[in-house]
Chains A and B, each alone.
Chain A
Amino acid sequence: MTALTGEDAGRIGAPVAVPVVLRVVARWLGAIAVALLVFSALLLAKGANPVHAYSAMLELTFGRARSVQEIFIQMTPLVLGALAVAIPARAGLTNVGGEGQIIMGAVAACGASLALPQTLPGGLIVVAMLLASMVAGALWAGIAAAMRLVTGVNEAISTLLLNFVSLDVLLFLIYQPWRESPTGQPATRELVDTAKLPVLSGSKVHIGIVIAVIVTVVVHVVLTRTRWGFRISVAGGNSEAARRSGLNVNLLVLSALMLGGALAGLAGMIHFAGVEYKLRPGFGNQLGYTAFLACWLARHKPFPILVAAFVFAALSVAGDSLQLDSNVPAASIFILTALILMAVLGWTTPRKART
């Protein structure tokens, strides 16, 4: 059950790494195959042709540059949101609050952009939004961390509850104080063009994906190569032993959860400044929960998170094609997402990790 065993085994047993990878790949392919089969049966039951639906999904998702770019755009907040789960998980914490931390990050970014004069250079506004969002995310997660440390309230419960509070904060703001016009759609003023995240040349993909990949590498290094990364995993593995060996477990818990929150806040800012440009009632709908599950799919490891986020983003884009092409609601794709997760959660979990 300690956080280190799996990784140590992998490192010590380097020669067997290849078969392990093969087994993992086989399990994943098996899981996805079963999920695809069950989803086909459901599509058939609804009178849609699964072969046609799948080929259309493949073609519309990967066959067009615009869709592929859309995948990269959608995976960006998922990567950061999943890292926001992975870091606290290292310290033995369950952060279900990505949803709320993402929203608070976006709210703070929007607040910063509204507070600053629009004539300011765009770069300055972006930096201000970046800082505001990370601070907001960290503080929002910090509430849960403080509750855990002071009164022993479990962070899985408090972060979950805080999600709904943050959603109401968002709605409160966009229905009244920050509403652009009292008669139009409830939404905030659009971000000035200069403060929108720049796109990569020749595409519609904003630079958020670059930030997400860099952050992933940094998180990997921090978790595996720094003293802090080692300490939080010791605290997560056996907090009593960590305490006895002189580690400040409380500080480690606080910092791990707040760092996670900061990354989720960053995800919110990037989604705001790179995609939405204004806050609307459905902002970031279920991004945080999807990221939570992406993190589980990736077993809380940074680089696999990139893959899991890509898969989820591709599925989401495929959902839109499902709606266009097979006349099936786009949300139906959640079935496929859930089936893949069920297969992975239920049939690829190492025995030892079970409770």
Chain B
Amino acid sequence: MSLIVDVMSGGVRGGTSIMYAALGETIGERAGVINLGIEGSMLTGALGAYIATVETGSPWVGALLGGLAGAALALLHAYLVVWRGASQMASGLTLLFLALGLTSLFGASYVGQPVTGFSQFDVPGLASIPVLGPVLFQQDALVYLSYGVVPLVWWGLFKTRLGLLIRTAGERADSLTVHGYDVRVLRAVAVTLGGFLAGIGGAHLSIAYANAWFENMVSGRGFIAVALVIFAVWNPFRVLGGAWLFGMALGLGSALQARGYQFNQFALDAIPFVLTLVVLTVLGRRTLSSSPAELKRVFENAPPT
């Protein structure tokens, strides 16, 4: 019993950074832009948040700066693909390398510095509910915040005018142009917002989850987020469920090992990716048909030869 609770609460805590990033990626992809640099946004976010928290002592300032650092990198991606016509895949990977370089250059002096980040606290009352309490309500502030951000992103995408415009930029960009909207600006807004959320995801890693900064600390979580967005068919609520599921898979091995079971963690690490591949295969064309139309166009375009 306690193993299950441990794994679930670990899944929520470990999945939160992935959830923020995947929510961000969802917004961008809804507008028709895929951003592999989300991994980079998480990196700049993690370092930005860490530096700001060390320097100001406030993890909230840290989270905000982490978000901004993530947004800055995403804005570069938006500029390159939307205005300069760069390939989305190539630009995203390039920005990942940029983030790797920048964070190792500016982060070197912060390795090993102590930080007081977000600490775990119980939500009064709710924390004592059996199972649900320890899983959902004995976490840190950024986890609690994510419970609100998920419906907020859903509401923003599906119930507001800006959300409608963003989704139209991903579905029928031409019709926006006809009505006098600038598709490029809308896409840039969506991608930058996405980078902001990914930055907060990175912040959760450095100032809540690990409470440390080290080079390349995101180590693939941004790519898991990209997989998760597809797994969740571009739906924020499914992103929430998927992030927790993936988080549990990633944490299961160490939870088992802590109890003396011999287990090779790497078989479990592959689960998020294998699951996504299976979902893609099983749903096949159905998943693809529910993806934003402009996103499909991105893939169908052959690179210049």
Footprint of B on A, CB under 8 Å? 1, 3, 6-7, 42, 46, 89-90, 92, 94, 96, 147, 150-154, 156-158, 160-165, 167-169, 171-172, 175-176, 233, 236-237, 289-290, 292-293, 296, 299-301, 328-339, 341-342, 345-347, 349-355
* B264 proximity list for chain A (CB < 8 A): 172, 175-176
Chain B: minimal CB distance from A53 (Å): 12
CB-based contact B84/A345 at 8 Å: yes
Q: Does B100 contact A (CB under 8 A)?
A: yes
**Extra A-B contacts (20), CB below 8 Å, given A334-B104, A353-B303:** A89-B302, A157-B230, A157-B299, A160-B226, A162-B277, A164-B224, A165-B273, A168-B269, A292-B93, A299-B305, A331-B215, A332-B104, A334-B100, A335-B98, A338-B94, A341-B90, A345-B86, A345-B94, A352-B304, A355-B87
- Which residues of B sit under 8 angstroms from A94, Cβ to Cβ? 89, 299, 303
Contacts of A154 in B (CB 8 A): 288, 296, 299
Interface residues of B in 58-97 (CB under 8 A from A): 76, 79-80, 84-87, 89-91, 93-97
Shortest beta-carbon contacts, A-B, top 4: A354-B85, A151-B284, A334-B101, A335-B101
- Which residues does chain A contribute within 8 Å of B106, judged by CB atoms? 46
Which residue of B85, B91, B270 contacts A168 across the interface (Cβ within 8 Å)? Answer: B270
Q: Which residues of A contact B102 (CB under 8 A)?
A: 42, 335
Nearest-CB distance from B190 to chain A (Å)? 17
When distances are taken between beta carbons in the complex, the residues of chain A under 8 Å from B93 are 96, 289, 292-293
Residues of B within 8 A of A96 (CB): 89, 93
Asked if B270 and A169 make an inter-chain contact with CB atoms under 8 angstroms apart, the answer reads yes
Q: A158-B280, A164-B223, A331-B215 are in contact. Are A336 and B285 (CB under 8 A)?
A: no
Chain B, interface size category, equals 35 or more
A338 touches which of B101, B266, B303 (Cβ 8 Å): B101
* CB atoms of A349 and B302 under 8 A apart: no
Nearest Cβ in chain B — how far from A110, in angstroms? 16
Contact A160 B223 (CB under 8 A): yes
Q: Are B97 and A341 in contact (CB under 8 A)?
A: yes
Q: Are B305 and A355 within 8 A (Cβ)?
A: no
**Is A1 a contact of B105 with CB atoms below 8 Å?**
no
Q: Is the CB of B101 within 8 A of A333?
A: yes
Residue of B nearest to A338 (CB): B98
Q: If the complex has contacts A164-B270, A172-B266, A349-B304, are A293 and B299 also in contact, measured as CB distance less than 8 A?
A: no
